[in-house]
Amino acid sequence: MMAAGQAAAAGAQVLLLERMARLGTKLRITGKGRCNLTNMAEFDEFLGHFAFLGSEGETRFFLRNAFARFFAPDLVAFFEALGVATVVERGDRVFPVSNDAHQVAEALVRFALQQGVRVRMQSRVEDLLCHEGRIRGVVLHGGEPVAAGAVIIATGGASYPKTGSSGDGYRLAKTLGHTIVPLRPALVPLVIAGAEPRAMMGLSLRNVQVRLLLDGREVAGDFGEMLFTHFGVSGPIILTLSGPAVALLGRGRLEMSINLKPALSPEKLDERLRRDLDQYGKRGYRNLLKGLLPQSMIDVVVARTGIPPDKPAHQITAEERGRLRELLHDFRLIVTGHRSIDEAIVTAGGVDTREIDPRTMASRLVQGLYFAGEVLDVQADTGGYNLQAAFSTGFVAGQAAARFVAGG
C-alpha cells in the first residue's frame, strides 16, 4: 500500500493486486492488534536491531539508504497527516493512540486510494511476464495477463500464511533468476524438553533475565517478559532470542537459563531467603514459596529442589537453601526446537539483497522489477523495526518504479 501510493503520488498509473478479500490482513493483527508501527530509536541503534541475520550480514548497509530517505519520524508524520495520532511507549515503541491496528490499515488504504491507486482484491499473482530482461506484467490465478511497465513485489514473508503471505514472492523472484536466501522462522516461540512448560502454561514472567547457553557458554541474553506455553516458551524476550536459538539448534546442548530474581545478588537473595525461613519457621516449604514465586511455578520448583513440600521452614538446611537460591537465579530449560514458520512473526531469509539496488529497491537482474517489505532478506527484532523496514522500502520502491515507468 505504501509502495502503490507513493508510485501513484509520483504520477504513475497503479494497480494494486491483493489475493485476499481485504487489504492489510497481517497489518491488522500486528502488535497484538495495537500495531507497533515503528520505533523512535536513534538511526544507528535502529539499524543495530537488524544485525543478527541477513544476506552475508549486509542488511544494515542495505537499509541505510531507504531509512535515510524515509525514517521513523517521517512515518509518524505520514500517519499523523492521515489522522492517525501516535504515542511513544516503553522501549521507544510507537503505537497509534487509538490502540487499533485497523486504524493504521484503513489510513493506508485511504492514502493509496486518494493517490489514485486502483485495487483488485482476490487477485493472486501467479507468474511474472518478462521479455529480454525487462518486466512486462503479471499473470493472475486463472491465467489472466495484466500488462505493466514496472512491477513491485511486496508479497510479504512465509509466516502466518492465513493472512495471505504464503511465500509467493520468493517463487516469483526465483523464476526470474533471483537468489533466495534459505527461509527460516524468526521471532518464533521455542520448544522446551519435558512436561514442565505445560504445567506452567499461561504463566507470564516479567522482569526476568534470560540467557541462551550453547554447551554451557552464554551466546545471547535479554531482559524483560516471557511466557510459558503448552509446548515451551514465548513472549517478547523469547522471540528476540529465537534468532540465535534457531541458528544454533543442533550444534550442541542448547539451554535457556532464567534468572527469576535478577535484581538481587546471590548474597542479597540468600539474605532474603534466610529472613523468610526465620520469620515463617513453622510454615511448610511449599507454603513458603508462595511469597517468592507465582502459583504455577511452585510445584515445579518443589520438584526440582527435591525438598519435601511439607518440610517446616526452620528445618530447611543451609545446603537446601543454597539449592533453592541457585534455582531462582538459574532456572534451566533445554531448548529442543522451534515452532514452525507458520507461527513465526517474521520470515528470515528471502530475496538476496545483494541483487537489489539499495537506492531504488530495483532488481539488478530484471529491468522494471522492484521489491519491498518482508519478501526481501531483511528481518529485525520486535519493536516496530520490521514494519518500518517494510514502509521505508515500499516508499523507495514506489517512487523509483514510477520514475522508471516515466522513463527517468
Ligand X SMILES: Cc1cc2nc3c(=O)[nH]c(=O)nc-3n(C[C@H](O)[C@H](O)[C@H](O)COP(=O)(O)OP(=O)(O)OC[C@H]3O[C@@H](n4cnc5c(N)ncnc54)[C@H](O)[C@@H]3O)c2cc1C
Binding site for ligand X (CB under 6 A): 17-20, 25-27, 29-31, 35-36, 124-125, 154-156, 159-160, 163-165, 168, 345-346, 373-374, 384-387, 390
Please check whether residue 96 is in contact with residue 35, taking contact to mean a CB–CB distance below 8 angstroms: yes
Amino acid in the structure at residue 304: R
* Alpha-carbon distance values, 135 to 6, 9, 18, 316, 369 (Å): 20, 22, 19, 76, 6
Taking the least distance from each CB to ligand X, the nearer of 31 and 300 is 31
Taking the least distance from each CB to ligand X, the nearer of 18 and 276 is 18
Nearest to 292 by CA among 332, 334, 264: 264
Q: How far apart are CA 305 and CA 288, in angstroms?
A: 14
Taking the least distance from each CB to ligand X, the nearer of 47 and 346 is 346
DSSP reduced 3-state for 402 = helix
> Phi, psi at residue 99, to the nearest 5°?
55, 30
Q: How far apart are CA 355 and CA 361, in angstroms?
A: 9
Taking the least distance from each CB to ligand X, the nearer of 283 and 338 is 338
Report the nearest approach of ligand X to the CB of residue 317 (Å). 48
Antiparallel, parallel or unpaired: β 356-357 and 145-147: unpaired
Residues written for the chain = 408
Report the nearest approach of ligand X to the CB of residue 36 (Å). 3
Taking the least distance from each CB to ligand X, the nearer of 128 and 293 is 128
Taking the least distance from each CB to ligand X, the nearer of 16 and 316 is 16
Report the nearest approach of ligand X to the CB of residue 120 (Å). 9
Please check whether residue 381 is in contact with residue 194, taking contact to mean a CB–CB distance below 8 angstroms: no
The owner of cell 552475508 is: 56
Amino acid in the structure at residue 54: G
Taking the least distance from each CB to ligand X, the nearer of 174 and 253 is 174
Please check whether residue 214 is in contact with residue 264, taking contact to mean a CB–CB distance below 8 angstroms: no
CB proximity list for 81: less than 8 A, separation 6 or greater: none
What number of CA atoms fall less than 13 Å from residue 67's CA on the CB side? 24
Work out the end-to-end distance of the chain between its first and last CA atoms, rounded to an integer number of angstroms.
23
Report the nearest approach of ligand X to the CB of residue 165 (Å). 4
Report the nearest approach of ligand X to the CB of residue 341 (Å). 11
Taking the least distance from each CB to ligand X, the nearer of 305 and 379 is 379
Taking the least distance from each CB to ligand X, the nearer of 17 and 260 is 17
Please check whether residue 153 is in contact with residue 173, taking contact to mean a CB–CB distance below 8 angstroms: yes
Helix axis angle, 2-9 to 385-405, nearest 10°: 30
Report the nearest approach of ligand X to the CB of residue 214 (Å). 27
Taking the least distance from each CB to ligand X, the nearer of 335 and 344 is 344
Helices (H), 290-370: 295-305, 318-329
